[in-house]
Structure 1
Amino acid sequence: MKHLHNRVNGKELKEKMRQDSITRVTLSFYQYAHIGNPDLFRDHFYTLLAPIGVLGRIYVASEGVNAQISVPEANFEVFKDKLKEVTFLENIRLNIAIEDDGKSFFKLKIITKNKIVADGLEDDTFDVTDKGIHLDAENFNKLTDREDTIVVDMRNHYESEVGHFEKAITPDVDTFREALSTVEAQLKDKKDRPLVMYCTGGIRCEKASAYYKHKGFKQVYQLEGGIIEYARQVREKGLTNKFKGKNFVFDERLGERISDEIISRCHQCGKPCDTHTNCRNEGCHLLFIQCDECAEKYQSCCSNECKEIINLPEVKKKALRKGVKKGQQIYRKGRSEKLLYKK
């Protein structure tokens, strides 16, 4: 019987990837669709992608598919042919990473979930496939030049902190589910104005566009392909770049530079900086912004407390980590009181 998951130790796979000389393409894609049996589809999808060397993280749910992966460059055309074997993925847009060394992922994980984007909603009356109008980069620029247009960043606070579009509303939220309700409340008396949303690759703002249409907003638009596709089109077509700063990404890179502006600062000393990192103390693993000087001073930790912990014997470090659940804290703790210059 075939094993439909990777059984090799993660640390071994990471080291193997670091030493691998194969050229890989990092990309993402998503598609909202009605999938009758997500578990069956998940297994089928694994048998399509694993043999051609695809690595990364793919979520499958009854509402569709969401993928962040890397593909061996030599197998890229084969990969596209494999996608065509899935009817609703035939003409899928692939968001190719802007800054890419091919080392973003080290194993293939395909996971079935309740939803491909957690939204906290229990409203079965809105159809997630009834989306807003897609805008390419040129039309996004034109529409957002209008005085009456509302631009909303559907990402979380730690993402918009290092980069966002001009005049965008950037909700101070930790999760997409918080963003949905926060934006709805903020714009409840503006339902007749053009509403343009964006996110990293399009998946969150596409669901949001369906939700706000359902809630009575009259002119709902989204940036097709998100920031990633926008940056590609701006570069290829010579358009004005209205995005300022860096685009946060959910892999080991933690960011892609879109413009030269640095709009955030080091959370420890306050100097201009937009480099995200995770605290080196594995019992903390806090996500925060740290400059090179502070990385050296604190040994890549978020505080003197964590710096002291990483220098303890391994037995003591393990004892301190016992029972600690990192999970969403990794991102929420960007608000930690340890950080003097947090947003």
Structure 2
Amino acid sequence: MSILNISAYRFVSLDDLPALRERVLARCHALALKGTILLAPEGINLFLAGPRVAVDAFMNWLRDDPRFAGLQAKESLSDDVPFKRMRVRLKKEIITLRHPTIRPEGGRAPSVGAVTLKRWLDQGHDDEGRDVVLLDTRNAYETDVGMFPQAVDYRIASFTELPAALAADQSRYVDKTVVSYCTGGIRCEKAALHMQDVGMQRVYQLEGGILKYFEEVGGTHWQGDCFVFDDRGAVDKTLAQAPLSPPAPEDEAKATTA
């Protein structure tokens, strides 16, 4: 497999969006990369594919900007480029929740790594003996492809529906340790901040999302595959394209994730 696929995001204040868009798009075209990059006042969310040398060259160029220094990407390999074109889009949010008081660039919610989460699931509780509740922050068509089977799944059609679902069900989480998760980390990070904002205690995000969990612990406790927003449709626990992968919904523009 000769194509490197990466996904990455960073919540950081950006105030030069039109000019940044042109520079980023020009660099991607120069390197013949394909994918989608979202830019918003709150940060960057990117999905790129191409030969490793080209992807690495782009990421090194991007990290020369101090705002993106240290940006880490989740990686997977494929035989073909799973995008048809290269797009850089300006948006109000890099992941839409419509709760403007939540500003992730001002500070992250606590996170838990894949190895720690696996240990908690193995032992049936966190390191302080509390029950652990997993919260899947993804859309229903994603959870249909695969999920932690014990996780709370609100069957939402859009991430914007999550706050209302949580508000109607807060008693479920009292005296529990809550770990929100998503594909690559961006949604579970915003979700964890929202849960803190409404007074929920002992809330964590799964660091790096499902893709990092697969990479580090091989998908233990996971059931099924993981939906991804590109032409692969889904990846399995080895981060290879899953067989008979479902197509991404067209209206998602293959860029909602992570």
TM category (shorter chain) comes to: 0.7 to 0.9
Secondary structure in structure 2 of the residue aligned to 1:119:
coil
Matched, 1:66 2:45: yes
Q: CA deviation at 1:69?
A: 1.1
For 1:129-144, list aligned pairs within 5 A.
129=105, 130-144=107-121
Could you list the runs of 5+ residues in structure 1 that have no partner in the other structure? 1-21, 260-272, 279-286, 288-325, 331-343
Quote the Cα distance in structure 1 between the aligned partners of 2:247 and 2:38: 24
Matched, 1:248 2:227: yes
Which string of whole-angstrom CA distances, capped at 9 and with x for unpartnered residues, describes residues 79-104 of structure 1? Answer: 2311211212211121112x522320
Matching residue of 1:45: 24
Please tell me the residue identity of whatever aligns with 1:113.
K
Matched, 1:193 2:176: yes
Secondary structure in structure 1 of the residue aligned to 2:104:
coil
Matching residue of 1:116: 94
Quote the Cα distance in structure 1 between the aligned partners of 2:220 and 2:172: 30
Quote the Cα distance in structure 1 between the aligned partners of 2:139 and 2:35: 22
Quote the Cα distance in structure 1 between the aligned partners of 2:149 and 2:159: 21
Quote the Cα distance in structure 2 between the aligned partners of 1:136 and 1:231: 12
Quote the Cα distance in structure 1 between the aligned partners of 2:27 and 2:174: 44
8 Å CA contact 1:55–1:69 kept in 2: the answer is yes
Give the paired residue count: 242
Matched, 1:101 2:71: no
Please tell me the residue identity of whatever aligns with 2:156.
V
Matching residue of 2:64: 85
Please tell me the residue identity of whatever aligns with 1:132.
A
For 1:29-44, list aligned pairs within 5 A.
29-44=8-23
8 Å CA contact 1:71–1:79 kept in 2: the answer is no
Which among 229, 236, 255 is matched to residue 257 of structure 1? 236
Which string of whole-angstrom CA distances, capped at 9 and with x for unpartnered residues, describes residues 24-80 of structure 1? Answer: 211111111111232222222223332122210111000111111113223243223
Which has the greater radius of gyration?
1
Matching residue of 2:103: 127
- Judging by fraction of residues, say which structure has more strand: 2
Please tell me the residue identity of whatever aligns with 1:38.
L
Runs of 4+ aligned structure 1 residues displaced above 6 Å come to none
Quote the Cα distance in structure 2 between the aligned partners of 1:41 and 1:193: 43
Please tell me the residue identity of whatever aligns with 1:127.
R
Quote the Cα distance in structure 1 between the aligned partners of 2:44 and 2:132: 31
8 Å CA contact 2:49–2:82 kept in 1: the answer is yes
For 1:1-343, list aligned pairs within 5 A.
23-97=2-76, 100-121=78-99, 123-124=100-101, 126-129=102-105, 130-144=107-121, 145-146=124-125, 148-188=131-171, 190-235=173-218, 241-258=220-237, 275-277=245-247, 327=251
Q: CA deviation at 1:275?
A: 4.1
> Residues 174 and 48 of structure 1: is their aligned pair in 2 closer, same or farther, counting only changes over 3 Å?
same
Quote the Cα distance in structure 2 between the aligned partners of 1:128 and 1:241: 29
8 Å CA contact 2:33–2:55 kept in 1: the answer is no
Please tell me the residue identity of whatever aligns with 2:32.
G
Q: CA deviation at 1:134?
A: 1.9
Q: CA deviation at 1:191?
A: 4.6
Secondary structure in structure 1 of the residue aligned to 2:147:
strand
Please tell me the residue identity of whatever aligns with 1:84.
R
Quote the Cα distance in structure 2 between the aligned partners of 1:192 and 1:34: 34
Please report the TM-score for the alignment, with normalisation by the length of structure 2: 0.85
Q: CA deviation at 1:274?
A: 6.9
Which structure has the higher relative contact order (CA within 8 Å, separation 6+)?
A: 2
Q: Identity of paired residues, percent? A: 25
Secondary structure in structure 2 of the residue aligned to 1:41:
helix
8 Å CA contact 2:48–2:55 kept in 1: the answer is no
> Residues 277 and 50 of structure 1: is their aligned pair in 2 closer, same or farther, counting only changes over 3 Å?
closer
Quote the Cα distance in structure 2 between the aligned partners of 1:74 and 1:243: 32
Quote the Cα distance in structure 2 between the aligned partners of 1:249 and 1:216: 31
8 Å CA contact 2:42–2:103 kept in 1: the answer is no
